[in-house]
Chains A and B, each alone.
Chain A
Amino acid sequence: MTGFVPTDRPPAAPARLVDDFTPALIDVGAHHLCPGCGEPVAMRSALEAIDELGLTRRAIAVFGIGCYTAFSNNLDVEVLQALHGRAPSVATGVKRARPDAIVFTVQGDGDMVSEGLQEVLHTAARGESVTCIMLNNGVFGETGGHMSAATVVGQRTKTSLEGRDPVLHGRPILLASLLAHVDGAAYVARGLVNSAGNVARTKKMLLRAFEAQERRAGFSFVEILTMCPTGWFIETEEAPVYLEDNLAAVHTPGVLKDEVDR
């Protein structure tokens, strides 16, 4: 008990608040995502980016289906719910009908790389001025942790209990890498949220992606590797290192394409 400082109320000594509980656009912070889930961290970054760029009153989020779907209830931006894999075409319709809106999708890897691979590829090829955001934890989280098209070789899931085997299960699709080769894509980046520094770097990617949309440079895409200790069968505090060693080693972080100024 000794040595702990009180944290149940703001400090008495003069101090300024540098980070509030939730950013402005998350008006309900409570959610039922698992302990240690990286998805709220990633979504927080996206919403902070929207807020910082002054795009709040122009933003329309199109959600896919996954754990993050429930989080759409927590946001104070307009939300359109789409089906598993189908957010890119819905986002296309929104953007074509409302070209001044800032339209972005929130989808998991199961949603975007498995069910919806065609949709995101075509949307990128068409150079639609939308921003697709993929929360990649290498599993279908919402259904309980099953192999997706992004699951890495060796990763244990409920449908690859001995670890993903290239002979039985093939190899992962590295979606950001694929999209970097599509001409219609102006900005393609891969970030991760397993440390505060990486969160900050990922936020820069999101800012640049929304800038790409603002400037109608073409399709923009940010893949964000997120922790999923439940889907990975590990302890929550092991997830940041697991992400680094297993997912980030294959889905390598970085800016893969930046032609926003073209």
Chain B
Amino acid sequence: MTPSPTVRTRGTLVIDVDACKGCDLCIDSCPPGVLVMTEHETNTRGYRYPRLLAGCTGCQACSQICPDFVFQVYKYETPLELPGGPS
């Protein structure tokens, strides 16, 4: 049995879910592709919003492109190894 793969994760986000308007710009702007829009869950205003997989690099592409200032971006002092990642 092979061990579960881990993903080097250098950064993470705080996502202001209710500020999001579901525009999807962050999804395509993310270089490691670790942002995924919800499919059925919506925020209090009815918009889908992004969720984060392991593997964030803290590059700020999402926060720079987001028109609604949804993201706070953090960079870990020491990269973490987290389970899972983009499929």
Residues of A near any B CB (own CB < 8 A)? 2-5, 7-11, 13-22, 26, 29-31, 33-41, 44, 193, 195-196, 199-200, 227, 229, 235-237, 239-240
A8 touches B15 (CB 8 A): yes
A7-B51, A8-B14, A237-B23 known; A41 and B75 CB under 8 Å? no
Q: How far is the CB of B65 from chain A (nearest CB, A)?
A: 5
B80 touches A236 (CB 8 A): no
B74 touches A36 (CB 8 A): no
A11 touches B19 (CB 8 A): no
Main SS at interface, chain B: mixed
A10, A30, A34, A39: the one contacting B72 at CB < 8 Å is: A10
**Cα separation A7 to B83 with both chains bound (whole Å):** 16
Listed by A's residue number, 5 A-B pairs whose Cβ atoms lie within 8 Å are A13-B77, A15-B75, A16-B74, A29-B69, A196-B59
Q: How far is the CB of B61 from chain A (nearest CB, A)?
A: 4
**Cα separation A40 to B70 with both chains bound (whole Å):** 12
Residues of B near any A CB (own CB < 8 A)? 9, 11-17, 19, 21-25, 27-29, 36, 47, 51-54, 56, 58-78, 80, 82-85
**Cα separation A22 to B59 with both chains bound (whole Å):** 16
A14-B77, A18-B75, A20-B72 known; A7 and B53 CB under 8 Å? no
Measured CB to CB, the nearest residue on chain A to B7 is A3
Q: How far is the CB of A66 from chain B (nearest CB, A)?
A: 15
B53 touches A4 (CB 8 A): yes
Main SS at interface, chain A: loop
A9, A21, A195, A236: the one contacting B23 at CB < 8 Å is: A236
**Cα separation A35 to B66 with both chains bound (whole Å):** 10
Contacts of B77 in A (CB 8 A): 13-16
Contacts of A19 in B (CB 8 A): 60, 63-64, 71-73
B76 touches A14 (CB 8 A): yes
Contacts of B76 in A (CB 8 A): 11, 13-15
A13, A17, A18, A236: the one contacting B25 at CB < 8 Å is: A236
B21, B67, B84: the one contacting A2 at CB < 8 Å is: B84
Q: How far is the CB of B76 from chain A (nearest CB, A)?
A: 5
**Cα separation A4 to B68 with both chains bound (whole Å):** 22
Contacts of A13 in B (CB 8 A): 76-78, 80
Contacts of A35 in B (CB 8 A): 21-23, 47, 67-68
Q: How far is the CB of A44 from chain B (nearest CB, A)?
A: 8
Q: How far is the CB of B87 from chain A (nearest CB, A)?
A: 8
A18 touches B74 (CB 8 A): yes
A7 touches B21 (CB 8 A): no
A3 touches B84 (CB 8 A): yes
Q: How far is the CB of B17 from chain A (nearest CB, A)?
A: 8
Contacts of B65 in A (CB 8 A): 41, 193, 195-196, 199
Measured CB to CB, the nearest residue on chain A to B28 is A237
**Cα separation A5 to B29 with both chains bound (whole Å):** 19
**Cα separation A5 to B61 with both chains bound (whole Å):** 18
**Cα separation A2 to B28 with both chains bound (whole Å):** 21
B54 touches A18 (CB 8 A): no
B52 touches A7 (CB 8 A): yes
**Cα separation A79 to B14 with both chains bound (whole Å):** 31
